[in-house]
Amino acid sequence: MFNKDKIGLALSGGGMKAYVQIPLIRLLQKENVNIDVISGTSMGSVIGSFAACGAKADRIEEIMLELEKYYIDNQIFFRPSLKVLPFAKEKLDGFVEGNDLEDLLDNYYKTFNVEMITDVKIPIAINAVDLNSGKTVIFTSHARLFEKRLDWIIIDDVKLSTAVRASCSLPLVFSTKKYQELKLVDGGILMNMPIPPCKEMGADHVISVSMIDNLPTTVNDSMISVMMRSLEIFAHANQQLNIHEGDYNFNVPTSQYNMLDVGKGKEIIELSEEKLSESKSELLKKVKTWQSPIRFLK
């Protein structure tokens, strides 16, 4: 019996910086590289979810830029609620209430005939963190593949939009997502580079995407600027813990941007395309070794 190695795609969180992931997906689709499983954290879960629904990269880019425009038009990150007292008065535990995002995503998924996470075309795992237990929560289309992970909370009976909303609940920025008895925040708190879930779903090789940059960044004295830079430093350090578990990491340095740089989406995508042109040959050469020769199983 013949069997090809399975390839996984692990998409990290990073806010607007995660838009660098779109050109890589476009390249893999163009070169007919079959992605067998997908894992995503935070914004990586948004982009990864559309790929799992079967969307082409050009459509993913259109949707992500539409979402960015929605944030700009509704001044999501520019409202007075970014000052502490207003959101405290509203009894929210984050600057931005995330239900609108969840509803918007749900409408997009339905255009691909997807509502529940189990409806996706490519197996997916989306991670969040439960504040009550301190455990990683894995929302997945294939729960049976995670039966051995007793240290994770595994959930498959959930809407895809709910899973993604939970994974995107960046502390203090988005309100926590309450699901059953769980109080969920951004999956990047414990695992910002979700390579382990790809491995659990059977990936023999994993391609990951990161936005790590060791260049110094100028931070102003605002509370938001300090908070976001602190989260970025934490996210980068967190990514380094799992990157070595993958087989190829596509990294796009993005020190000139911050996680909430709404309005820079197209610019970030173009930066990624330039970087990918330098890495394309190396990546495709490596992928070719995974796909050929085909293994013979007795």
What is the C-alpha to C-alpha distance for residues 23 and 31, in angstroms, rounded to an integer? Answer: 12
DSSP category for residue 119: G
pLDDT at residue 101 in the model: 85
* CA–centroid distance for 270 within its chain: 19
Give pTM, 2 decimals: 0.87
Interatomic CA distance for residues 256 and 235, integer angstroms: 16
3-state secondary structure 192-240: CCCHHHHHHCCCCEEEEEECCCCCCCCCCCCHHHHHHHHHHHHHHHHHH
What is the reported pLDDT for 297? Answer: 43
What was the pLDDT predicted at 253? Answer: 92
Q: What is the mean pLDDT of each run of 10 residues along the chain (298 residues)?
A: 80 94 98 96 97 98 96 67 42 62 95 98 98 97 94 97 94 82 93 96 96 69 61 64 86 88 95 96 93 52
Shortest CA distance to 158 belongs to which of 258, 10, 49, 291? 49
Of 172, 182, 210, the closest CA to residue 95 belongs to 172
Helices (H), the chain: 21-30, 43-52, 57-73, 84-89, 99-110, 160-167, 195-200, 223-243, 265-291
Tell me, what's the pLDDT at 212? Answer: 84
Question: Quick check: bond before 123 cis, omega within 30?
Answer: no
What are the angstrom distances between the C-alpha of 213 and each of 52, 207, 232, 233, 236? 28, 19, 10, 10, 8
SS3 140: strand
Burial class, 111, CB count within 10 angstroms (exposed 0-12 / middle 13-18 / buried 19+): exposed
Phi/psi for 124 (5° steps) reads -135, 150
Give the per-residue pLDDT at 153. 98
